[in-house]
Structure formats: structure tokens, C-alpha cells
Amino acid sequence: MKIDVKEILSYVVIIIVVLLIKTFIVTLVRVNGSSMDKTLHEGDIMILNLLDNKHEREEIVVVDKSVEGSLIIKRIIGLPGEKISCKEGTIYINDKKYDDSYANGLTSDFDDITLKDDEYFVLGDNRTVSLDSRYFGPVPEKAIMGSTKIIVFPFNKIGKVE
């Protein structure tokens, strides 16, 4: 039996390219729990853009295990340098009322938090059950793995999410 080195090499190259893409460009992430209900649901599988390093308000991001012990999916509400608080269920950013259109349930109150130049304030959309920056504090930029905007499974939900 003769081994075709070119054929084996082509498979090795394909495997390396796939691993590089998965490690440095995009990967899949699965939603665990109900903290992002009604936007995302348990079992949804999304594409995580690992190259996104310029984060915006209301963007859905994945935070690495260093913050809470497991990957978490949350929405950015507060940006670096901003002051954020919640009084009587209303969020304020730099003392201006924030139109919290993604909230599912009442947001529990918290005192003023001023974010450092490399910190973000993240909340789950399902405010009554979400473990988020209200409990573990601001998220350092280096802990944000990337952003996610596209559901790929279940197939009946394929597409962009807001």
C-alpha cells in the first residue's frame, strides 16, 4: 500500500485552516440559561466574532470564564468612562434616562458606578434572573471574547438578532 503524501498533506492543511479560523476569527457559542430571554433562548447556537474589539452599547457579547466561572452572554449597556445607575427600575447613563427597550422584567436598583477606561457594564435582557454587572461588577475589556449577532441553530431562527 502506497501512501499519497500530497493527499495527506491537503487534509492536514484543511484541518489547520479550520482550527485557525475557529481559534482566531469565528467560533460557535451556545446559549445556556434564560438570562437573555426574550432575545435569546436556552440552546440557541450563535456565531461569535472573535475579531470584534470595538464594542458598542446594546451589542451582545460573550464574556470569558475569568468573570463568573463560565462563559456568559450579555448585552453592553455602559461604555468606558460612563456613569451608570438604576433608580426605581430606570437606568441612567451619565444622569440621563436610558431607553431600556431590551429589558424583560424590572431592572433592580443599583447605585452609581463610574466605569474605568477599559470597563463595560453588561446586563442580561431578562433582568429578573440575570447574573450580570449588577452583581459581579464591570467587565474588563480583555474579558470580552467578541460579539455575536447571528443565530445558526435552531434552523427556524437562523438570522440576525438585535
- By annotation, the residues acting in catalysis are 35, 74
| 79 class by beta-carbon count within 10 Å (0-12 exposed, 13-18 middle, 19+ buried) | middle
Given a contact cutoff of 8 angstroms between Cβ atoms, the answer to whether 123 and 147 are in contact is: no
Longest dimension (CA), the chain: 76
- The Cα–Cα gap between 37 and 75 comes to 12
**Radius of gyration (C-alpha) of the chain in whole angstroms:** 19
User: What are the residues facing 34 on neighbouring strands?
Assistant: none
| 27 class by beta-carbon count within 10 Å (0-12 exposed, 13-18 middle, 19+ buried) | middle
Using alpha carbons, select from 27, 59, 33 the residue that is nearest to residue 46: 27
